[in-house]
Chains A and B, each alone.
Chain A
């Protein structure tokens, strides 16, 4: 594939970087990333991945754009209210970069559709806001051998880690099981700072770009936490892959995907996750 003059200009700041270069940009253009959730994390991540020239971006989200989303979900605008989030996200990404092929999945991820969704993608980005989805994404990616970025945000705090199945601990090695469904507030109840969601979503996009181009060190075996109130980042070394992990251990007990029950106040009619 030869670059057009326009592409050389569009991606010039990448190509100039020795660590990315011509080869790295070609890898990005040939890559496929699936973003699950077009919310506070997925919105900035999708914009940066589209701008970076990730050739195929899948976006999965069942919701429509709601006024309360716009404080942080910067891929959607006021004119998009009521529109399916995946369509609004697709329009924004295509407007930024016509090189990008956007695939939309207007559905909730469940144990019955997630394997089909992730199959064609090189890297998955978890931009969901609830534990059942996070464990489902982890287990599916481990079973399918797909690398992914986990992230979570609440109030002024965020965290992320990258999982490459077989190379380091998975999300379940570290967090074992979803907390009791009434024990955890979600950002709907607890609040969240939009710019902080942006910080974490951008870090997820960075991990995807580094994975695709083979640049630098990934957050495999580490959890990066960020506190926006104190402006402190902490990189916590995680224990090695747990041999007793229920999904990636030596004798996995989870061999079938689980749809955990979502906390009651987050339940919406027709929502399965």
Chain B
């Protein structure tokens, strides 16, 4: 078993399409304090290819990408402060 990561909040972006996928994740991250952890549920395919990269570009830390084995993934992200 991998080490346990405490998730502070979750957001589901499987109900929206690009570019709102990233926007919805960005809005959810905005609600958190620096250092808190967000779990983002997203669809396989385009979201899983682009959303993690966009979030990394914003300076946040990608902790994990979990395959839910149902066509969705959970991306675990630690929020970084503003530069």
A residues at B contact (CB < 8 Å): 2-3, 5, 8-9, 11-13, 15-16, 18, 21-23
Task: Name the distance in Å between B30's Cβ and chain A's nearest Cβ.
Answer: 4
Q: Flag if A16 contacts B22 (CB, 8 Å).
A: yes
Q: Are A23 and B30 in contact (CB under 8 A)?
A: yes
For A15, list chain B residues within 8 Å (CB).
Answer: 23, 26-27
A155 to chain B, nearest CB (A): 41
Mark out the residues of chain B between 32 and 79 whose CB falls within 8 Å of any chain A CB in the assembled complex. 58
- B19 within 8 Å of A by Cβ? yes
Closest to B18 in A: A12
> How near does chain A come to B32, taking the closest CB pair, in angstroms?
11
Once bound together, how far apart are the Cα atoms of A32 and B27, in whole Å?
Answer: 23
CB-CB nearest 7 A-B residue pairs: A22-B30, A12-B23, A15-B23, A8-B23, A9-B20, A12-B19, A12-B20
Most buried by A among B15, B20, B22, B58: B20
B15 to A, closest residue via Cβ? A5
A18–B27 alpha-carbon span in the complex (Å): 12
Question: Do A8 and B20 touch across chains, with their CB atoms under 8 A apart?
Answer: yes
Helix, strand, loop or mixed for chain A's interface?
helix
13 more A-B residue pairs beyond the given contacts A5-B20, A21-B26, with a C-beta to C-beta distance below 8 A: A2-B27, A3-B27, A5-B24, A8-B24, A12-B20, A12-B23, A13-B19, A15-B23, A15-B27, A16-B22, A18-B58, A22-B27, A23-B30
Q: Given the complex, which residues of A lie within 8 Å of B24, measured CB to CB?
A: 5, 8
Given A15-B27, A16-B22: A9 touches B16 (CB 8 Å cut-off):
yes
Query: Which residues in B have their C-beta under 8 angstroms from that of A5?
Result: 15-16, 20, 24
Chain A residue numbers with a CB within 8 Å of B19 are: 12-13, 16
Q: Which A residues are CB-close (under 8 A) to B58?
A: 18
Distance in Å: Cβ of B26 to nearest Cβ of chain A = 6
List, in ascending order, chain B residues with CB within 8 A of A9's CB. 16, 20, 23
In the complex, chain B residues whose CB is within 8 Å of the CB of A22: 26-27, 30
**Docked pose: A243 CA to B46 CA in angstroms:** 59
Complex: chain B residue closest to A14, CB-CB: B23
Q: How far is the CB of A45 from chain B (nearest CB, A)?
A: 26
Output the least CB separation between A29 and chain B (Å): 13
- Expressed in whole angstroms, the Cα–Cα distance for A2 and B58 within the complex equals 21
B27, B31, B58 pick with most chain A CB within 10 angstroms: B27
A-B contact list, 25 entries, CB within 8 Å: A2-B31, A3-B27, A5-B15, A5-B16, A5-B24, A8-B16, A8-B23, A8-B24, A8-B27, A9-B23, A11-B23, A12-B19, A12-B20, A12-B23, A13-B19, A15-B23, A16-B19, A16-B22, A16-B23, A16-B26, A18-B58, A21-B30, A22-B26, A22-B27, A22-B30
Q: Which of A3, A9, A12 has the most CB of B within 10 A?
A: A12
